[in-house]
Amino acid sequence: MQSSAKVTGSGEAISSATYQAENWMQADVPTTVVAAQVKSGVLPILLWEEFAGLPGSRVSHRRQFSNIAMPPDSPYAVSWWYRKEFSLSDGFLGKTDLAGKTVWLNFRGINYRANIFLNGKRIADSDQVAGAWRTYEFNVSSAVKPGTNVLAVQVWAPTGTV
């Protein structure tokens, strides 16, 4: 996982096997950016009243912060990238090809908007993927391949700019 402020390249490039993802944070999904930062030790475990202490935050526990415009200096005002390399197992492939097989990509929670890329191909965009912690399934049969596959997901917070 990495902030788009630190990433160069398009979704097509980031989801290619040749992209060099250096200095990215480990994240077990599904997770939010802040939860991944807490788990990795970048941020301390936060109590509700401590959210006001997040970098670039002006959160007040007296107001619903999802309805407050995100400050432009917040590290969460920009999109964040998740990237995963994976291989299809020989058991799935059978005789090493995908002919006649349908492959589904299942997301157990995306918050809030996202662009999704697989092997350099856009699977879905932020107009299709929007909502609070929604689940999604996409038929990726035309984009998945035997061997190494690369998934890149660009997410925005509810008040982020798309």
Q: Where are the domains of the chain?
A: 2-20+77-156
Dump pLDDT digits (tens) for 63-113: 555 566 777 888 888 999 999 999 876 566 555 567 778 889 999 999 889
Task: Report the distance separating Cα 68 and Cα 59, nearest Å.
Answer: 8
Cα separation, 111 vs 54, whole angstroms: 18
What rounded mean pLDDT belongs to the chain?
A: 84
Residue 161: band (very low, low, confident or very high) from pLDDT cuts 50, 70, 90: very low
Q: What is the pLDDT of residues 20-78, one digit of tens each?
A: 999 999 999 888 898 899 899 888 876 655 666 666 665 555 555 556 677 788 888 89
Burial label, 5 (beta-carbon count in 10 A; 0-12, 13-18, 19+): exposed
If one looks up domain 2-20+77-156 in CATH, what number appears? 2.60.120.260
- Joined together, the tokens standing for residue 60 give 């007040």
Cβ atoms of 138 and 93 within 8 Å: the answer is no
Look at residue 162 in the predicted model and tell me its pLDDT.
42
